[in-house]
Structure 1
Amino acid sequence: MRSIILDTDIGSDVDDAMALAQIMGSPDLDLLEVHTVYGDTRLRAQLARRYAALAGRDLVVVPGAAETLSGRDVWWAGHEGTLHDDLASETVSAESAPQRLVARLRERPGELDVAAIGPLTNVAEALQLEPEVARWIRHLWVMGGSFGDERSEHNFKSDDIAAQVVLSAGIPTTITGLEITQQVTIEASRLERIRAAGRLGAALGADIEQWWAYWNETWNVPHDPVAVLALSRPELFRFSEVGRVAIAVGGDSAGRSTFTPDPEGTVRIVTGVDAERVAEEITARIVAAYPADHGESDGDGS
C-alpha cells in the first residue's frame, strides 16, 4: 500500500477525472487527499469532491495555485464542471495546497508519493516555502513533457518555470511523456464499461463523452491515468536509467523537455508501455472505484 497525494487540474481534459477514479479503485493506493492547480482551483476542487462523493468517499480536497509562476495565461476549455449540478455545495479545504503539501510531508517525511498530473505550480511553490520538500517526497510521478521530439507538452508549457524548479530540485521522479501516453486509447467499448459502474461511472462517462464532443472524436488518450499506473503496475512499462531533465523557459520553445542520462540525476522517464494491458487496467480500476454494495436508491452519493 502506497500513500499518495494527487495534484491535478481536474475539469478540463477528462483524463484527470479518470485518474482520480482510477486511484480510488486501486487497492494498492491510499489516496490521502487531492490538491488542485491552475485556473479556477476552487471549482476544480469542488469537482474532485463530487467525484469522491459519487464513489462513497469523504475526501479532503485542497485548492491550490490559480496563477502560474510563468505568468502564462490559463487555458480554460469552458465546460469545466458544467455536467454536475450544485457543485457549490461541495465543501473544500480553506487551506492552500502548497502549504498543505509542506505540512503533510513534514508529518511523514519519506513516506508519501505525489502524483502531479497538471502544471507543477503547487509543487514548485511548496519547494519555495520549504526546500526540504525535495527530500520529503518519497517519489514524484509526473505526466508531462515529450521526449525525443520537438513538442512542448501542455503541463510543462503552461508553467515552464515551475517545471524547471521541480525537475531540478533533486526529487526522485518518474515522468511519463506524450510519446508514451499517446500509445493508449479509451474507445467506445471501454466507455460502456465505465458508464455501467453506478453513479460514478455514469458521471464520468458523461464527462468523457463531453470531452470527445469537444474534439469531435470518439476516443480519448488517458494521459494522466497512464502516468499514475506506472506507480501501481511498473511491470507494464519500461523505464530509462536515472538522469536529468532540462526544461526550455520562455519563447516559442517554452516547456520543451530534454532528458539526459546521468548517474547523479534523480529523474527517469518512461520509455515503453504495454498499451493494451494498460488501457484494460485503467478501465478495470475505474470500474472498481464504485463499490459493488453501493446503493442506487438515492441521488445524493450516500
Structure 2
Amino acid sequence: FSPEARSVCSKKKLVIDHDGGADDAFAITISLLNEKYFDGPKLVALTTSFGNVNLTQANINSDRILRVSERLDIPIYSGANKAFIEEMGSDRYFGLDGLGDTGYHAPGPVDIEMQPAAVALIELSKKYRGELIVVAIGPATNIALAVKLDPHFIHRLAHLYVGSGHIYSEAYPKAEFNAAMDPEAYHIVADSAVADKVTVVPFSQVIETLKIPIEWRKNVLGKIDTPIMRALNVYERVALPKETAWNLLDPAVAAIALYNEIVDEYKDSNNTIILEGCKVTKKRFRLRLTVAVDCKDEMVAGQLAVTVNGSSNDDKKPKFIIDNDAGGDDAMAIFLGLLYEKYFDGPKLVALTTANGNTKEDNVYHNNQKVLKVANRQDVPIYRGSKESIVTTPKVSDYYGVDGLGDTGETFPDLVPAQTEGAVNALINYSKLYEGNLTVITIGALTNVALAIKLDPNFLSRLSHLYIGAGHIHSEKYPLPEFNAHMDVEAYHIVVKNATPDKVTIFPFSQTKEYLSFSKDWRFNTLGKLDTEIIKEQNKYEKVALDKEESWQALDPATVALYLRPDLVAEYKYSKHDVYVCGDKRGIMKHDFVEKDKANVRVAYAVKSEDYKVFLLNVFGAELNDPARSKKA
C-alpha cells in the first residue's frame, strides 16, 4: 500500500497457504498489490485449509478475496479439512465466516482445481524449482502432507515462511492458534526444515514488536480509499473492536517474505513442540527463527497416471492391493494372494505399495521385486511409499534378518523397477479407477493409508474394504504395543478415526497368537515340505525368524487369508476403537466392544484354526497338481 515498499525478489513465484480469515485476506492482498505495483513475486496459487473457518468456507473466502482484487486468474487448490490427529475448535475471531459476517453469498460456484493442495505444492515446487516462495499462515497441515509425500519438497523451494507459534515464556505460556490447530503438522515441518530454507515468524514477536495502535489501523491505513482497503475494513469489523493494538500475524509474515529488510534481527533456534502433553525427544530441530524487532509500522502495513496391467474399467473381478513392509511374513502374504488368484480364480492383485517397517524401505522395495520374480508375476506394479513414520519413526526390526528376507544373499537378474508414481497417490488413483471394487490390505505400518486419507478424505469411502493386520486386544497377556501399530502410532490413529465398520476390518496380532499358533514342526515338515519353488524360497525368508521362536505365528498371511476366504473367520466383534498416541501407553490399543451402530471398526476376533491350515496347504500346494507343471517335468 505504501510507495516506499519494494520487492527484493522480483523473479520469484509465490504460493500462500492459508485458512481463510481476515488476516489471511490482508496477507493475500498485500502480495497481489506488491506484485502489481512493485514488481514483486508472482502469486501463482492459493492453497487452503481448515483453521479460522472450515475448509469449504476457506475456499469461498479465497474466491471472494480474488474477486475484490480482480485476480480470478489465480488458481485455488483445496487442502486439509482437519488436523493429522486432533485440532482445537476455531475461536471465530474474525466472525463465523472469517470475513466479518456480512452475509456474503458467492455469485456462482467457486472454481476449485482438481489437484489437492499438497500435490499442487509439490508440482509447483518442481515447476519453479529454486524460485518458489511458500508463505504458510494457517495450520501447517498442507505443508506437512507435501513433506511426507515428497521428502525433497522443502529443498526445492526458494524459501518457506511459517507464521506460527510463540517463543514460550511467562508472557506467552499457551499454544499459539496456528500451531495448536495441528501440532503434529508443525512437528513434521520442523523435522524436515533446514535453516537456509525455513523461516518461522512467531506470533509472540509480532505482538512484541508491532504495537500498532488500533486508531492508526482505522484512521490512517483504513482511510485509504480503494476497493481493496474498503473490503479489508469490512473483513476485520468483528475483530477490531476486541483489541487495543493491531498486530496481525499473517500480513506481517507476508511482508517479511516480500521485503526481508524490515527484519532487524534473525536468530537461529533449536526448535521443538510438545505434542498432546508429550515432548518429542527423538531429535531437536534447527530452524531459522525470525524475530522482527523495531520494524517501521508503516512498512509492514505497506507490504495417475496409474498402471492398470491391461485391465479394463468394466472388469468386475475384485481387485486388491497389499501395502507391506516386506519381511518374511509379508512375502508369504503376497505369495498367498498371487497363488489364490492363479489357481482358485481369486481377486486380482493389481499393485504392491511399500513402507518402512520390518526393514528400511529401500530393502522393502527390493524384497517386493524379489517376491514378484520368484512368483513369476513381474506384471504387478510396485509403488514406493513412506520411508519414515508421520511423526516419530521407531527403529526398524531385524526379526526376519537385516534385509527382511532371511539374509540369504541371493540376487536376481532382470528385476522390474518401481513405478514413478508414489504409493500414496497410487492408492488414491486406484481407489478411483476401481471404485467400490478395490480392497486394500495393509500388513505393515499404516503410514501410506493414513496419508491417502489426509490427502483425499473420500479415499476410504471408495474402497470395497480395508483390512488391517495390526495391534493387540490389550490384556495382561498382551500388555505391550504390537509392532505394526507401534511403527506409526499417529497413522494408526488417523485411519481408525476415519473408519466405519462396513469399510474397515482389523485382525489383531493377539488373535493370531490365540487362534493361529502352530508348531514349528508343522511349519517345517508339513507346509515347509511342499515341493515348490515358492515354498523353498519362503523357507529361506523365514529361517532367521523361526530360529527365534517356539511356534509359528504369522499375522500377515493370515490377514490376507481372511480377505480371500472370509468364511475362515469364526467370530467378528464390533469395536469403538482407537490407540493411545501419548504417554506410557503409546501404541496400546483401546477396544470397547459395542453394537455395530456404535462402532468404528469390525474386528476379526476368532479364526478357524484347522480350516486355515488346510487353506494354506491347498493354496501353496496347488502348483503340484497343475498339469502345466507335469508337462515341464
TM range (shorter): 0.7 to 0.9
Structure 1 position 74 matched with structure 2 position 395? yes
Deviations 1:168-207 (A, max 9, x none): 1135111111221013135334434445343222111111
| 8 Å Cα contact 2:577-2:600 kept in structure 1 | no
Match of 2:459 in 1: 133
| Residue 295 (structure 1) shift | 9.0
Look up the SS of the partner of 2:584 in the other structure: coil
Residue number among 37, 61, 86 corresponding to 2:382 in the alignment = 61
CA distance in 1, matches of 2:528, 2:572: 32
Question: Is the alpha carbon distance of 1:195 and 1:228 closer, same or farther for their aligned partners in structure 2, counting shifts above 3 Å?
Answer: same
1:189-268 alignment runs, 5 A limit: 189-192=522-525, 193-213=527-547, 215=548, 217=549, 219-260=551-592, 261-262=594-595, 263-268=597-602
Q: How many residues align?
A: 293
> Which deviates further from its counterpart, 160-169 or 27-36?
27-36
The answer for the alignment partner of 1:300 in structure 2 is: none
TM-score normalised by L of structure 2: 0.44
Amino acid at match of 2:367: L
Among 486, 491, 502, the residue aligned to 1:157: 486
Query: Amino acid of the residue matched to residue 349 of structure 2?
Result: L
- Within 5 Å, give how 1:260-299 maps onto structure 2: 260=592, 261-262=594-595, 263-288=597-622, 292=626, 293=628
Quote the Cα distance in structure 2 between the aligned partners of 1:3 and 1:203: 26
2:506 counterpart (175, 180, 189): 175
Question: Kindly tell me: are residues 253 and 148 of structure 1, through their superposed partners in 2, closer, same or farther at Cα, counting changes over 3 Å?
Answer: closer
2: distance between equivalents of 1:35 and 1:197?
29
Q: Does 1:24 align with 2:338?
A: yes
- Alpha-carbon distance between aligned partners in 2 of 1:123 and 1:173, rounded to the nearest angstrom: 12
User: Is this contact kept in 2: 1:5–1:33, CA < 8 A?
Assistant: yes
Counterpart residue number, 1:146: 472
* Contiguous gaps of at least 5 residues in structure 2: 1-316
SS at match of 2:506: strand
Change (3 A) 1:42 1:197: farther
Write out per-residue CA displacement over residues 52-72 of structure 1, whole angstroms, 9 at most, x where no aligned residue: 221221221111101001313
Q: Distance in 1 between matches of 2:576 and 2:361?
A: 30
For the structure 1 residues 253 and 151, does the alpha-carbon distance in structure 2 shift closer, same or farther, using more than 3 Å as the test?
A: same
Q: Distance in 1 between matches of 2:629 and 2:451?
A: 39
Larger gyration radius, structure 1 or structure 2: 2
CA distance 1:241–1:223, shift in 2 (3 Å): closer
What secondary structure is seen at the aligned counterpart in 2 of 1:25? helix
Of 280-289 and 2-11, the range deviating more from structure 2: 280-289
Q: Is the 8 A contact 2:363 2:403 kept in 1?
A: no
Give the distance between the partners of 2:492 and 2:466, measured in 1 at CA: 12
Q: Quote the offset at 1:244 in angstroms.
A: 2.5
CA distance in 1, matches of 2:455, 2:545: 36
Does residue 35 of structure 1 match 2:353?
yes
Aligned-partner SS, 2:480: coil
Structure 2 residue 368 is matched with structure 1 residue 48: yes
Q: Do 1:54 and 1:200's aligned partners in 2 also have CA atoms closer than 8 Å?
A: yes
**Is 1:188 paired with 2:502?**
no
Q: TM-score, normalised by structure 1?
A: 0.88
Q: AA paired with 1:237? A: V
Structure with the larger RCO, 1 or 2 (CA within 8 Å, 6+ apart): 1
SS of 2:516's equivalent? Answer: coil
1:124 is matched with 450
Q: Would you say the 8 A contact 2:442–2:467 is kept in 1?
A: yes
Counterpart residue identity of residue 140, structure 1? L
Q: Is the 8 A contact 2:473 2:591 kept in 1?
A: yes
Q: CA deviation at 1:253?
A: 1.4
Structure 1 regions of 5+ residues with no counterpart?
A: 298-302
Q: Residues 143 and 224 of structure 1 are in contact (CA less than 8 Å); yes or no, is this contact kept in structure 2?
A: yes
The answer on whether the counterparts of 2:472 and 2:481 sit within 8 Å (CA) in structure 1 is yes
> 1:125 Cα shift?
0.8
Alpha-carbon distance in structure 2 between the residues aligned to 1:210 and 1:50: 18
Give the match's secondary structure for 2:510.
helix
CA displacement, residues 100-130 of structure 1 (integer Å, 9 cap, x when unaligned): 1011112122210011010100000111111
Q: Deviations over 1:51-94 (max 9, x none)?
A: 12212212211111010013132323114243252358522222
Partner of 1:15: 329
Would the alpha carbon gap of residues 188 and 247 (structure 1) be closer, same or farther in structure 2, given more than 3 Å must change? same
Verify the 8 A CA contact 1:194 1:286 in the aligned structure 2.
no
For residues 33 and 84 of structure 1, what CA distance do their matches in structure 2 show? 26
Q: Is the 8 A contact 1:230 1:237 kept in 2?
A: yes
Code of the aligned partner of 1:287: G
Separation of aligned partners in 1, 2:517 and 2:403: 22
CA RMSD of aligned residues (A): 2.4
Pair 1:25–1:279, CA change in 2 (3 A): same
SS at match of 1:7: strand
Mapped to 1, the partners of 2:601 and 2:494 lie a distance apart of 13
CA shift, 1:296, in A, is 11
Distance 1:140 1:197, change over 3 A: farther
Counterpart residue type for residue 96 of structure 1: G
1:232-275: CA deviations, max 9, x gaps? 22222134343421110023211111222251434111121221
CA gap 1:219/1:243 in 2 versus in 1, 3 angstroms: closer
Q: C-alpha displacement at 1:23, in angstroms?
A: 0.9
